[in-house]
Amino acid sequence: MIFMAKNTPKTRTIDFLQKKGISIFNAEKMCGLSRGYLGTGGVMGSDKIAMIKNKFPDYDVNYIVTGKQDSRESELEFYKEAFEKAREEIDCQKKQIDALNKIIKISNN
């Protein structure tokens, strides 16, 4: 078994794919990479990064290479997550309101 260093272009790429719900195997296949390429240690060449970028336009090459995310992107990601959590909470509250309205309707009959 090969142990990869943490926080490398390959590990950041794997994290990117996992967040998108794409398996490493499928991503390698989609991008034309050799099977097992992302799971092995070693340096990730710019040609491979370009192959992935061609298939995934939201693949942040700057972050993949440097490990530093644009602060605006970090902030945007924070707000996206907060918005999604708020939307989930609103959906939950709507269900609770619907349930209470049914109880009120039943008790008024």
Close Cβ partners of 52 (under 8 Å, ≥ 6 residues apart): 13, 27, 31, 33, 59
What does the pLDDT look like over 16-29, one tens digit per residue? 999 999 999 999 99
For residues 45 and 83, state if they share a domain. Answer: no
Using the structure block, give the residue that is written with the tokens 């209470």.
100
For residues 74 and 92, state if they share a domain. Answer: yes
For residues 56 and 8, state if they share a domain. Answer: yes
For residues 107 and 74, state if they share a domain. Answer: yes
Single pTM value for the model: 0.60
For residues 81 and 61, state if they share a domain. Answer: no
What does the pLDDT look like over 33-86, one tens digit per residue? 999 999 887 789 999 999 999 999 999 898 899 888 766 776 788 888 899 999
C-alpha to C-alpha distances, 55 to 9, 25, 28, 61, 87, nearest whole angstrom: 17, 14, 11, 13, 30
For residues 79 and 95, state if they share a domain. Answer: yes
Domain that holds residue 101: 70-109
Does pLDDT of 2 surpass 50?
A: no
For residues 51 and 7, state if they share a domain. Answer: yes
DSSP 44-76: --HHHHHHHHHH-TT--HHHHHHS---HHHHHH
For residues 59 and 96, state if they share a domain. Answer: no
For residues 6 and 45, state if they share a domain. Answer: yes
How many distinct structural domains can be found in the chain? 2
